[in-house]
């Protein structure tokens, strides 16, 4: 039987797409390659105000708010300098129903979404379904799917590829994905160490510059999450054990040698490549790309997950339109334009400026940010931009 929509991918973008389609009374099949297990990883955690507004439309804002850390202040500091800049989210009062940023681990959001999808009668969520082939014509899409060693065909009128950075749909369609990979590996570390007891006036989110580049420290409900650029090249063999760049940053942060392992336990220590890439098109026939399948950006500033959720809500609205052809074309053009003109340049600038190691340049950047923070109108405009307000649709 032909489904109206098939969504590839059971991550946050795929789940939001499916749940939004179900709210429009559009039956949807979700094909997820993995099984019904969401691993506890601390890579993504930022939820910006407009994203929370969109989750509210799906009745998910309340459960997220009940568990998340609310961030009222955004700090920019340096591991060696006294200069700093502080932005208060109180400036966004009246701009949004949620004048704050949330830190809520992505894996927890996926669990919330999957619970909501399980209760949606219009969603057929299938785990262990790997898409291995794709064909389409002017009226339908046919997907070849491998399931427990067997192959079967799933047909639909539209397909949404929300299958992540290594999207099989994008590859099967030969969609160019130009851009670049940063030359060094990034590192994410999760630790229950109580940085709030060791660092004076520590906010829930702090972005430090330093002699080896960026170092961010973010409080999530269960743990502190640190992310940093490293001196390890993307083709180099990562060092064994705790990365020395992380230890050096913590030494500077605490003003003393790093606590012994017993006082600084690591629940995650993961190296990864960072990219800036953008698909040539977000619509290829009757296949629509969303989230990391369509665009990749640096994690600095937390815009990847958020823009993916914005894609998901927009693609669902387009498929619910009475003129699907026109609406999906507009979706592809609009969302690609936002990624190209806002998300990509903003995250590139965030990463480039935070990675600058020159001491004089770091001081100049913080002085400039402090001047913006001290001017209420400029600070409000800055917070609107880094919070992605006004660009989600």
How do residues 179-218 score in pLDDT, each as one tens digit? 999 999 999 999 999 999 999 999 999 999 999 999 999 9
Kindly give the residue spans of alpha helices, DSSP state H, lying in 71-210: 106-118, 168-172, 195-198
Question: What's the average model confidence in pLDDT over 8-31?
Answer: 97
Tell whether the model's pLDDT for residue 262 goes beyond 60: no
Same domain, 35 and 157: yes
Same domain, 165 and 200: no
How high is the pLDDT of residue 37? 76
How high is the pLDDT of residue 391? 79
Same domain, 281 and 268: no
Using an 8 Å Cβ cutoff, are 153 and 144 in contact?
yes
How high is the pLDDT of residue 241? 85
Based on the number of CB atoms within 10 Å of its own CB, is 6 exposed (0-12), middle (13-18) or buried (19 or more)?
Answer: buried
Tell whether the model's pLDDT for residue 264 goes beyond 80: no
Same domain, 36 and 120: yes
Select from 140, 133, 177, 171 the least CA-distant residue to 31.
133
Tell whether the model's pLDDT for residue 71 goes beyond 60: yes
Phi/psi class of residue 262: alpha, beta or left (left: φ > 0; alpha: ψ in -120 to 50)? Answer: alpha
- Share the mean pLDDT of the chain: 94
The CA–CA distances, whole Å, from 280 to 135, 170, 268 equal: 19, 10, 35
β strands within 52-163, DSSP E: 69-71, 73-78, 85-88, 101-103, 123-127, 130-136, 141-147, 150-161
Tell whether the model's pLDDT for residue 256 goes beyond 80: no
Question: What's the average model confidence in pLDDT over 59-68?
Answer: 97
In a domain, 363, yes or no: yes
Confidence of residue 263 (pLDDT cuts 50, 70, 90): low
User: Model pTM?
Assistant: 0.95
Select from 104, 92, 114, 119 the least CA-distant residue to 23.
119
Question: What's the average model confidence in pLDDT over 49-66?
Answer: 97
In the chain, % of residues over pLDDT 90: 84
Which residue carries 């001491």 as its tokens?
Answer: 359
In a domain, 155, yes or no: yes
The CA–CA distances, whole Å, from 269 to 129, 152, 243, 272, 365 equal: 30, 39, 8, 10, 29
Rounded Cα gap, residues 14 and 55, in angstroms: 14
Rounded Cα gap, residues 370 and 68, in angstroms: 28
Domain that holds residue 325: 3-44+106-178+276-353
Domain count, the chain: 2
Task: Output the six-digit token pair for 134.
Answer: 């794709």
Same domain, 22 and 37: yes
Same domain, 340 and 208: no
In a domain, 55, yes or no: no
Same domain, 74 and 32: no
Same domain, 210 and 92: yes
Phi/psi class of residue 255: alpha, beta or left (left: φ > 0; alpha: ψ in -120 to 50)? Answer: left
Which of 110-116's residues contact partners 24+ apart within 8 Å by CB, and which partners? 110/10, 110/11, 110/12, 110/15, 110/38, 111/38, 112/60, 112/63, 112/64, 113/12, 113/15, 113/16, 113/19, 113/60, 114/10, 114/15, 114/36, 114/38, 116/15, 116/19, 116/58, 116/59, 116/60
pLDDT by residue (tens digit) across 363-376? 999 999 999 999 99
In the chain, % of residues over pLDDT 70: 97
């Amino acid at each position: 039987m032909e489904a109206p929509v098939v969504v590839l991918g059971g991550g946050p973008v795929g789940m939001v797409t499916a749940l939004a389609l179900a709210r429009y009374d559009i039956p949807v099949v979700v094909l997820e390659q993995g099984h019904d297990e969401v691993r506890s990883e601390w890579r993504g955690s930022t939820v910006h105000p407009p994203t929370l507004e969109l989750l509210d439309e799906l009745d998910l804002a309340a459960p997220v708010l009940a568990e998340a850390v609310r961030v009222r202040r955004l700090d920019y500091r340096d591991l060696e300098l006294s200069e700093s800049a502080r932005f208060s989210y109180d400036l966004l009062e009246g701009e949004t129903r949620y004048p704050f940023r949330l830190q809520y681990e992505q894996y927890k959001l996926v669990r919330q979404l999957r619970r909501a999808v399980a209760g949606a009668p219009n969603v057929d969520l299938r785990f262990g379904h790997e898409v291995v082939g794709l064909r389409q014509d002017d009226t339908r899409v046919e997907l070849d799917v491998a399931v427990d060693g067997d192959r079967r065909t799933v047909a639909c009128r539209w397909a949404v590829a929300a299958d992540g950075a290594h999207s099989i749909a994008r590859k099967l369609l030969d969609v160019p994905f130009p851009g670049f990979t940063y030359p060094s590996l990034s590192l994410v570390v999760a630790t229950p160490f109580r940085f709030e007891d060791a660092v004076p006036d520590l906010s829930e989110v702090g972005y430090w510059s330093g002699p080896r580049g960026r170092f961010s420290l973010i409080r999530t409900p269960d743990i502190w999450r640190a992310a940093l650029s490293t001196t390890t090249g993307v083709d180099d063999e990562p060092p064994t054990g705790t990365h020395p760049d992380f230890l050096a940053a913590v030494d500077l942060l605490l003003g003393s040698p790093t606590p012994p392992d017993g006082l600084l336990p690591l629940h995650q220590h993961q190296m990864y490549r960072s990219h800036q890439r953008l698909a040539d098109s977000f619509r290829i026939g009757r296949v629509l790309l969303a989230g990391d399948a369509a665009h990749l950006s640096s994690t600095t500033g937390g815009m990847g997950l958020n823009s993916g959720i914005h894609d998901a809500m927009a693609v669902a609205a387009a498929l619910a339109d009475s003129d699907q052809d026109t609406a999906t074309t507009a979706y592809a053009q609009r969302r690609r334009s936002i990624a190209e003109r806002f998300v990509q340049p903003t995250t590139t600038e965030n990463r480039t400026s935070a990675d600058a190691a020159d001491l004089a340049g770091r001081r100049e950047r913080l002085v400039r940010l402090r001047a913006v923070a001290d001017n209420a109108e400029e600070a409000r405009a800055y917070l609107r931009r880094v919070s992605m307000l006004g660009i989600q649709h």
